[in-house]
Amino acid sequence: MHEPLKFEHIKPRLLGHWGTTPGLNFIYVHFNRLIKKHDLNVIYVTGPGHGGPGLVANTYLEGTYSELYPNISQTKEGLKKLFKQFSFPGGIPSHVAPETPGSIHEGGELGYSIAHAYGAAFDNPDLLVCCVVGDGEAETGPLAASWHSNKFLNPARDGAVLSILHLNGYKIANPTILSRLSDAELTQLFTGYGYKPYFVEGHEPETMHQLMAHTLDTVIEEIHAIQNDARAGQSAGLPVWPMIILRTPKGWTGPKVVDGKPVEDTWRAHQVPVTNFVSHPDHVKILEEWLKGYSPEELFDGNGKLIPELAELAPSGERRMGANPHANGGLLLKDLVMPDFREYAVRVTKPGTETAEATRVLGNLLRDVGGGTNLPGKQRIAPQPRQSQPQGHYPRNRKVRGVSQGEVRAHTRIPLVQAR
């Protein structure tokens, strides 16, 4: 922003999802603070993965992006390439794609953030997963069902998931159902799911920052208390995990009004809040004022590098969410040892003479996946009751909350609620 913004500075085809991005940024920087304060091991799952620029920007600002992609350097030139490559031929996708540092969840097809977040936390006792759930995403079947994943999480041996419902009110062109619920109704709903909801609501940035920081401090203490009690063998029954309901305007801090129509806090903020620069040259001014509103000259030095006082706010090394080894493919992966499936084939010497059940045969194969039955982290989640769909012989070797689940359930994640 060293010179007045001109039409030729703007890409001819504008794409992206601005509406969700301010909330994703807000959560990211607050987690940076939390990670530093408590030396936490955190990954960030972005349910509204269409807000890719938020994650790209934050991993750029924390330094991970330039380490992985040295051509996108922390300079004016690097910034220019960063902006240009977004949703551009040969560039990067608008979603939190696999190449986005720290991403295990693309978010393009809405609905799976909570399932992926819990999957990451299982058997990972030191990991905290920050899981942002879009209020539109929350209307999908998979997401609506997966709030119940908390029943499968064992605080003694698993990590934790902090779900943050990103209640910005709209899903493309419509209001969301959850945004039409009062706080009292939301509290009842999520209490019923087994959570303790904390509300962070408002639009004044200063007040919201204080509220979010305070809420995260409270919530992390609760999570640690649940884990410490369980790990000391001092808890019984299902814990009530905290969650956050973040109610902010969609397109927060973006253009308030364009062509006489409200944009911030409406569905119009979902994608590109100001466009049509050819037919509306006055829109260039709106865009310029919006960008200047963040005072970039106070945030970056003359060479385009984030000033040290701000850069120091992010954690360092592998504590950066973009650099966490749990979220960067290959760093913690182990090859899955697969038995030869041919050895499990049902021998049919003469047609019509053998009796066999497919699921039982499959179960025998699954038993041997990984080269042994006691492989840590080997988990199955099955929708079918295993009594009616027997899957071979899993040995009795696993206890859930001190209660042996026996041969039928061993090695399958069963809801802890059954173990009470």
Ligand X SMILES: Cc1ncc(C[n+]2csc(CCOP(=O)(O)OP(=O)(O)O)c2C)c(N)n1
Stretch that binds ligand X, among 91-99, 162-170, 312-320, 410-418 (CB under 6 A): 162-170
The nearest distance, CB 261 to ligand X, in angstroms, is: 18
The one-letter code for the residue type at 201 is E
Beta bridge partners of 241: 195
Applying CB under 6 A, does 53 fall inside the site for ligand X? no
- Region 100-129 residues binding ligand X, contact defined as CB under 6 A: 108-111
Instruction: Give φ, ψ of 343 to 5 degrees.
Output: -70, -15
For ligand X, the closer CB: 167 or 274: 167
The nearest distance, CB 255 to ligand X, in angstroms, is: 17
Applying CB under 6 A, does 176 fall inside the site for ligand X? yes
Q: What is the DSSP string of 258-271?
A: ETTEE-TTSGGGSS
Q: What is the DSSP string of 185-196?
A: HHHHHHHHTTEE
Q: How many CB atoms lie within 10 A of CB 38?
A: 15
Near ligand X by CB under 6 A: residue from 22, 48, 93, 315? 48
The nearest distance, CB 97 to ligand X, in angstroms, is: 14
For ligand X, the closer CB: 109 or 183: 109
The nearest distance, CB 139 to ligand X, in angstroms, is: 8
The nearest distance, CB 48 to ligand X, in angstroms, is: 4
Cβ atoms of 18 and 29 closer than 8 Å: no
For ligand X, the closer CB: 135 or 158: 135
Near ligand X by CB under 6 A: residue from 15, 172, 332, 338? 172
Near ligand X by CB under 6 A: residue from 95, 105, 166, 326? 166
Near ligand X by CB under 6 A: residue from 30, 95, 116, 171? 171
Q: How far apart are CA 8 and CA 391, in angstroms?
A: 63
Cβ atoms of 211 and 248 closer than 8 Å: no
Near ligand X by CB under 6 A: residue from 31, 72, 102, 137? 137
For ligand X, the closer CB: 58 or 66: 58
The nearest distance, CB 131 to ligand X, in angstroms, is: 13
The one-letter code for the residue type at 57 is A
* Inter-axis angle of helices 52-61 and 21-38, nearest 10: 40
Q: How far apart are CA 105 and CA 119, in angstroms?
A: 11
Q: x/- contact string, 14-33, with ligand X (CB under 6 A)?
A: ---x-xx-------------
305: CB partners within 8 A, 6+ apart: 74, 75
For ligand X, the closer CB: 152 or 252: 252
Stretch that binds ligand X, among 168-176, 191-199, 285-293, 318-326 (CB under 6 A): 168-176
For ligand X, the closer CB: 49 or 370: 49
Cβ atoms of 25 and 58 closer than 8 Å: yes
Applying CB under 6 A, does 136 fall inside the site for ligand X? yes
The nearest distance, CB 54 to ligand X, in angstroms, is: 10
The nearest distance, CB 108 to ligand X, in angstroms, is: 6
Cβ atoms of 189 and 135 closer than 8 Å: no
- Region 219-278 residues binding ligand X, contact defined as CB under 6 A: 250, 270
- In 135-289 the beta strands, taken as DSSP E runs, fall at 160-167, 170-171, 174-175, 195-201, 241-247, 257-258, 261-262
- Residue facing ligand X at closest CB distance: 134
The one-letter code for the residue type at 367 is R
Extract long-range pairs of 377-385: CB within 8 Å, 24+ residues apart: 377/122, 377/123, 378/411, 379/122, 379/123, 379/411, 379/412, 379/413, 380/411, 380/412, 380/413, 381/152, 381/412, 381/413, 382/412
Number of residues near ligand X (by CB under 6 A): 22
Which residues in this chain contact ligand X in the complex, by CB under 6 A? 17, 19-20, 48, 50, 108-111, 134-137, 140, 166, 168, 170-172, 176, 250, 270
